[in-house]
Structure 1
C-alpha cells in the first residue's frame, strides 16, 4: 500500500469502509490483475466478466482493473483477503509465503510437456485443492483455479546453453526463495526485482536477463533491451485465481454457482488462449526485431539443467517445510498417472 498515490489510498480506504460495513457484496464484483490489458490474465478476466454478467442476467457487473491500477501483486492478494476486492490472480511464488507448498511450482521441470495433463492437474488435483487450498483459507483466500500462462523464456544478451554460460549473469526473479535457489543452481546470480522495474533495470544493465512467458516479454517490451530468447523447457508460469473465502461463503447459493460454473468453463478456454497469445506475440517480436536470436535447448542441454537443479528437492523442504516435500511427491505421482492416461 506504501506504493500507492494519495488518491489511490483515499479510493481504497473508501472501498475498505464499504467492505467493512458489509456493503461490498453488491452487484459489482472487482477483479484486479497482475498484468496489463491485453495479457493472458486480462483475457481470463474479460471472459469471466462476460460469462458472469450473462449468467446473472445483468444483475452482476464485473469491473476489471489492469496491472498498476491498484498496486503490486502482494497488494492485490492482501486487498482480496481483506474483502476490498473480490477476485485477483496470484503468482505461486508470492502465495508461497502463506501456503509454503505452493513453492513446488517454482521447481524446474515439474509440470508435464503435455498441457492436457497440466489442465487436469491444475483444475482437479486433490493435492492442490486439498492441503494447498486449505492453507490459503487461513489467510481468507479461496483458490478457485490455476492455469499456466505459457512456457518461461529467458531473455538475455548472450546465448545460454549450459549452466556454465550463466556464470556472472544477473537474472531477475520474483521475490520467491525457491526461484532464487533455482537460479543459483543454474549458475546465475538471482536478482529479485518488482515486475515494473525490470525494463529499466535491463536497459541500465543493472540486470542481464529475466524470465517470463513470451506474451509478457512482448507486451512489456523486454525484447527491446535483450538480444536472445531461449526456450529451456524448465518451467511454465503458473498462476492462481483467487477470491475472498469469507466473501464467497457469504454469497447466495445461486451466485456461488455462477462463479463455480464460470471457473469450470474457463479452464479449456484459457489453456487454448494462452497458446494462441504466445504464438502471436512471438511473431510480433520477430517482426519488430528481426535480428533477435531464438534458441531452443535440446533434450541433452535441458538434461544438464535438470541435473544441476536436483539439490532443489532438499532445498524445497529446507525452505518450505516437510509439507512442501510431500506435495511435490504427490504432484509428481499425479502427473505420472495423468501422462499414462493421455
Structure 2
C-alpha cells in the first residue's frame, strides 16, 4: 500500500511540475505585431520578414506582419506604435520627420553619399545612429532598432529637366509629414505637393502632379515608369527606412527577449543591406528591358552644381531649427567623412 501510495504521489507531483512548466511556456510565448509602410516583397518587407524569421526560429514568440495599407496611413501606424497597440514599426525616415524632427536628417539633399560601400559603413558604425538617435527616439516612446538604405533616389517626370529653372512651376509630389522635402523641392525650383502614396498613382494619371521621387525598386515595382516619361538621377539622396519598437513594451521585456530582438534586428539589417543594392539594380535593369522608350538621365556634375548650391539653404534651415538638429547634422558630416576614408 505504501509503495502504491508513494507511486501515486510521485506521479501527481510530476504531473504538477509538467503542468506548471507547460503553463509557463505558454505564458512566455507571445504574438507581436509589426506594421510597416511597404509591401512584403519591398525592402521594409524583406527586413520585417528576416526579423520575424529570426525571432520565431530562436524563441516561442510569433510575429504578425501588417503591410502598407493594412492599418491606415503612415501617421496612423506611428500613433498606434507609440500607443502600444503595435509592438514594432517599419517606416521611411521621410515620414518620421513630422514626429521626430531629427529624422529629417536623412532626407536632407546632397548630404548622404550614393556610394553603397560608404552607406553600409555609415549605417553600421555611425555615432549618429548608434549613440545620438536612440535617446531621441525614447523621448517619443520608441526604441530604435535599425536604420537602413533602400536605394538611390530617382526623380520621374513627364518632361526632362537639367536645372532648377526647368523645374520652375512643376508640381512635384513629396511624402507628407516632412517639412524638409517641401523645402528641398522649393529650393530646386518646383512646387512641392505633399501627398500619400495611395493618392500618387491617381495623381500621375490625371496630371495633378508633374513628377515624384522614389528609389528604382519602387518605380519599377509599381509601374511609375509607365505613368511618366523620364527618370533622372540627380544624386541628391537615398531613400532610407527605420525599424523601432514601442518603448514600454521593450522595457518590460526580460533580458533574454531584449537580446533576442537586438540580434534579430542585426540579422535583418545584414539581410537588407545586401538585398537593397540588388533590388535597386534589378529595378533599373527591368525598366530598361521592359520600357525601352522610357528615358533615363544622369545629371552631370556641372548640372548638379546649382542643385547642390540650392541644397545648402535647406541644410542650414534644418540646422537652425534646434540645437539638437545642428549637433546631429555636424556629427553626421564627421561620420560620413569616416565612412569615406574607411571604404577607399
Q: Is the contact between residue 199 and residue 221 of structure 1 (CA under 8 Å) also seen in structure 2?
A: no
2:20 aligns with none
The superposition leaves residues 199-223 of structure 1 with CA deviations (integer Å, 9 ceiling, x where unpaired) of: 0001100000000011111222211
2:272 aligns with 270
Larger radius of gyration: 2
Separation in 1 of the partners of 2:199 and 2:138? Answer: 31
Q: Is the contact between residue 116 and residue 277 of structure 2 (CA under 8 Å) also seen in structure 1?
A: no
Superposition TM-score, scaled by structure 2 size: 0.87
The superposition leaves residues 257-276 of structure 1 with CA deviations (integer Å, 9 ceiling, x where unpaired) of: 11111211222321110111
Query: Once the 2 structures are TM-superposed, how far is the Cα of residue 116 of structure 1 from its aligned partner?
Result: 2.7
The superposition leaves residues 167-193 of structure 1 with CA deviations (integer Å, 9 ceiling, x where unpaired) of: 111100012111100001111111100
1:314-329 superposed matches below 5 A? 314-318=316-320, 320-329=321-330
2:127 aligns with 126
Query: Once the 2 structures are TM-superposed, how far is the Cα of residue 128 of structure 1 from its aligned partner?
Result: 2.6
Query: Once the 2 structures are TM-superposed, how far is the Cα of residue 94 of structure 1 from its aligned partner?
Result: 2.9
Q: Is the contact between residue 114 and residue 152 of structure 2 (CA under 8 Å) also seen in structure 1?
A: no
The superposition leaves residues 209-244 of structure 1 with CA deviations (integer Å, 9 ceiling, x where unpaired) of: 000011111222211210011111110011111111
1:194-209 superposed matches below 5 A? 194-209=196-211
The superposition leaves residues 51-90 of structure 1 with CA deviations (integer Å, 9 ceiling, x where unpaired) of: 111111xx11111111101111111111111111111112
- The 1:194/1:36 distance shift into structure 2, 3 A limit, reads same
Secondary structure of 2:284's aligned partner: helix
2:57 aligns with 54
Separation in 2 of the partners of 1:340 and 1:193? Answer: 38
Separation in 1 of the partners of 2:183 and 2:254? Answer: 44
Secondary structure of 1:63's aligned partner: strand
Separation in 1 of the partners of 2:199 and 2:126? Answer: 35
5+ residue gaps in structure 1? 1-23
The root-mean-square deviation of aligned C-alpha atoms, in Å, is 1.8
2:286 aligns with 284
Greater mean alpha carbon deviation, residues 164-173 or residues 91-100: 91-100
How many residue pairs align between the two structures? 317
1:188 aligns with 190
Q: Does 1:163 align with 2:160?
A: no
1:82 aligns with 83
Separation in 2 of the partners of 1:283 and 1:119? Answer: 22
Secondary structure of 1:265's aligned partner: helix
Secondary structure of 2:296's aligned partner: strand
5+ residue gaps in structure 2? 1-26
Separation in 2 of the partners of 1:99 and 1:134? Answer: 12
